[in-house]
Structure 1
Amino acid sequence: MNRLGLLGLLCAAMLGCWEPGDALTCFDKQYAYKGRCCNRCQPGERLVSECNKTEDSVCARCESGHYQPSWTKEKHCAPHDICEGNAGLIVKMQGNTTHNTLCQCRAGTHCTDISCQTCVENQPCQLGSGFVAAKAVERLSSPCEPCTEGTFSNVSSKTEPCHPWTSCEEKGLVVKVKGTNSSDVIC
């Protein structure tokens, strides 16, 4: 076969794979489908049917227990996470059609890892350390933190935070013994 014949065969093969929609540029809330720009479904909705020459995309609200957080051409909404009580989880924020359910560990427990599928009981914070609720909520391994200068914890507890030293000055007194991370000042 000569060069011109090969070139013709190559062009025909390429044209057979090309569709008119391939070069179409659509807005960000649209997508290309069969040579047209179809509208994406808004957050909280899923695609029921694609657009055609006479009709626009058809969308429907996500069914109960499902959500879609962004503009989409997906035909299914994602199911909400289930806060498994047997794993120690409770609902922090109930999901809706645009947001997933947020789970957190019950009070006195923390996540076993970053995915937070299960919770384990907090070990008591030792003297000189206090419970930091934000750390437990942020899914960090231990919600205990050493008491900083000016604070103390004189108990071993799963829930007690570090407390500020007593202000002798506010009481019109002077400091007799300086406080530590495990004891209050003595006025």
Structure 2
Amino acid sequence: MHLSFCIFLATQLLLYQEVSSCTDSEYNIRGECCPRCNPGYRVERHCTSGSSTTCVPCGWRTYTNQSNGLTKCFKCQECESGAHLRVKEECTYTKNTVCSCKPGYYCTQFIDHDCEQCSKHTIPPPGFMVTQPGTETNDTQFVPCPPGTYSETEMSTSCEPWTNCSKAGMIEERAGTAVSNAVCACVGQKQVPVPVFVAITAILGLLVLALICGFIIWQWRKRIKKRAARVQEEQRNGNYLPVQENDNMVAPMQETGQHPGEPAFTMA
């Protein structure tokens, strides 16, 4: 039992010495130290006691990025559009594809310094100010507008100060907020809100239009009544307009025979 164990240890030691005897430019295969293939190549046939390693170039969309004893090249990775990735550097025979995030996204997951997953840049709402735009590796940085300032749009790069109504000789009708400016009004006047002003203007316009239409209808009906009254008055008085004679009118003529009262024709 002890003899068998000693033989096993001796065998493993000899094998370790053979493996460790290969240099950095060689790889071990079946106890043989074979020359490695260069980056961009792979092993087609391993070396033998009488021949060196046979290397061939990597195929399309495959690569090896260092000297190796591989019989297959690595497959180039794909930049998944569903993960919001795009190709930053194309794959070559000696280098894998480099992916990065599409515009408007930043990387949230790295594997060996290569991006695997992206997220959309945060869009600051009104009331905030962007301090650092989003990049390929970082989200948008932003802070709330300081007191006394506001921003009305998304992705604002600055916050505007509220209008000082007292300095402008007016009174403050509505205080400013983080998303809107202060509203000022003239002293002694109360500003009518825009929606109310529009409603009042529309109502007044409709009233004026109704009055104009009513006046036109009233005038038309009054004229019709006058005409009807005049016609009735003429009928009661028997006054009819005389028929005017026309120079081109011809008075009717009656044919007469030799004897008055007899028709002017002869018997055949």
| TM bucket, shorter chain | 0.5 to 0.7
Give the equivalent residue in structure 2 for 1:129. 131
C-alpha displacement at 1:19, in angstroms? 8.5
Task: Give the whole-Å Cα distance in 2 for the aligned partners of 1:7 and 1:93.
Answer: 60
Cα deviation per residue 1:17-63 (whole Å; 9 max; x = unaligned)? Answer: 45865423122111233443210111111112211011111111111
State whether residues 39 and 67 of structure 2, in contact with CA within 8 Å, keep that contact through their aligned partners in structure 1. yes
The one of 48, 70, 74 aligned to 1:74: 70
Report the AA paired with residue 144 of structure 1: Q
- State which of 10, 19, 25 in structure 2 corresponds to 1:29: 25
CA contact (8 A) 1:129 1:145 kept: yes
Alpha-carbon distance in 1 for matches of 2:116, 2:52: 41
Larger Rg: 2
SS in 2 for 1:114: strand
User: Does the alignment pair 1:108 with 2:107?
Assistant: no
Percent identity for Structure 1 against Structure 2: 23
Distance 2:123 2:6 in 1: 74
What's the offset of the Cα at 1:98?
A: 1.0
Whether the aligned pair in 2 keeps the contact of 1:21 and 1:33 (CA below 8 Å) is no
Amino acid at match of 1:94: E
Distance of 1:76 and 1:53 partners within structure 2: 23
Q: Deviations over 1:116-142 (max 9, x none)?
A: 43323212254142315xxx22x33x1
Give yes or no for the alignment of 1:144 onto 2:137.
no
Task: Describe the shift of the 1:108–1:18 C-alpha distance in structure 2 as closer, same or farther (beyond 3 A).
Answer: closer
Contact between 2:90 and 2:97, CA under 8 Å: does it hold in 1?
A: yes
Distance 1:66 1:143, change over 3 A: farther
After TM superposition, the score normalised by the length of structure 2 is 0.46
Residue 118 of structure 2 aligns with which residue? Answer: 119
Within 5 Å, give how 1:165-180 maps onto structure 2: none
Unaligned runs of 5+ residues in structure 2 are: 144-150, 161-268
2:82 match: secondary structure: helix
Would you say how many aligned residue pairs link Structure 1 and Structure 2? 144
Distance 1:7 1:120 in 2: 63
Tell me how large the CA RMSD over aligned residues is. 2.9
- Structure-2 separation of matches of 1:61 and 1:80: 15
Of 80, 84, 91 in structure 2, the residue corresponding to residue 95 of structure 1 is 91
More helix by share: 2
User: Against the structure 1 CA distance between its residues 19 and 45, is the aligned structure 2 distance closer, same or farther, given a 3 Å change threshold?
Assistant: farther
TM-score (norm 1): 0.63
Letter in 2 for 1:23: Q
Query: For the Cα contact (< 8 Å) 2:133–2:141, is it kept in 1?
Result: yes
Answer with 92-101 or 27-36: which moved more: 27-36
What 5-or-longer segments of structure 1 have no aligned partner?
Answer: 1-5, 147-153, 163-180
1:145: Cα distance to partner? 6.2
Counterpart Cα distance in 2 of 1:19 and 1:57: 26
Q: Which 10-residue stretch deviates more, 118-127 or 83-92?
A: 118-127
Is the Cα contact below 8 Å between 1:65 and 1:96 reproduced in 2? yes
- In structure 2, what is the Cα distance between the partners aligned to 1:54 and 1:21? 21
Q: Which residue of 1 aligns with 2:38?
A: 42
